[in-house]
Amino acid sequence: MSHAAGPDSSITIPAILKMKRDQQKIAMVTCYDSAFAKLVNRSPIDIVLVGDSLGNVVMGYQNTIPVTIEDMIHYSKCVGRVIGRPLLVTDMPFMSYSDKNKAVHNAGRLIQEGLACAVKVEGGSEICDRVEAIVQNGIPVMGHLGLTPQSIHMLGGFKVQAKTEDARLKLLEDAKALERAGAFALVLEMIPTDLALEISKELKIPTIGIGAGAGCDGQVLVLHDLLGFDLSFNPKFLKRYANFETTVIEAISSYCVDVKSGQFPSDSQSFH
When the beta carbons of 58 and 169 are compared against ligand KIV, the nearer one is 58
Alpha-carbon span 162 to 175, nearest angstrom: 13
Site for ligand KIV in 201-240 (CB under 6 A): 210, 220, 222
Tell whether residue 51 is a contact of ligand KIV (CB under 6 A): yes
DSSP state at residue 92 = P
Which one, of 164, 172, 177, 165, lies nearest residue 188 by Cα?
172
Alpha-carbon span 79 to 178, nearest angstrom: 27
Point out which span in 33-41, 48-56, 152-160, 261-269 binds ligand KIV (CB under 6 A). Answer: 48-56
Of the CA atoms within 13 Å of residue 188, those in its CB half-sphere come to 33
Tell whether residue 46 is a contact of ligand KIV (CB under 6 A): no
CB 37 within 8 A of CB 82: yes
When the beta carbons of 51 and 80 are compared against ligand KIV, the nearer one is 51
When the beta carbons of 79 and 210 are compared against ligand KIV, the nearer one is 210
User: How far is CA 59 from its chain centroid?
Assistant: 16
Q: Is 186 helix (H, G, I), strand (E, B) or coil?
A: strand
Among 187, 196, 212, 216, binds ligand KIV (CB under 6 A): 187
Contacts of 164 (CB under 8 A, 6+ apart): none
**Burial of 269 (C-beta count, 10 Å sphere; 0-12/13-18/19+):** exposed
Catalytic residue of the set 126, 189, 202, 245: 189
Site for ligand KIV in 68-107 (CB under 6 A): 91
Among 9, 29, 46, 53, binds ligand KIV (CB under 6 A): 53
Known catalytic membership, residue 202: no
Point out which span in 8-16, 45-53, 75-83, 132-140 binds ligand KIV (CB under 6 A). Answer: 45-53
When the beta carbons of 8 and 160 are compared against ligand KIV, the nearer one is 160
Q: In the bound complex, what is the minimum distance in angstroms from residue 50's beta carbon to ligand KIV?
A: 8
When the beta carbons of 179 and 189 are compared against ligand KIV, the nearer one is 189
Q: Is 99 helix (H, G, I), strand (E, B) or coil?
A: coil
Tell whether residue 52 is a contact of ligand KIV (CB under 6 A): yes
Alpha-carbon span 100 to 175, nearest angstrom: 20
Residues that bind ligand KIV (CB under 6 A): 30, 49, 51-53, 91, 144, 187, 210, 220, 222
Catalytic residues: 189
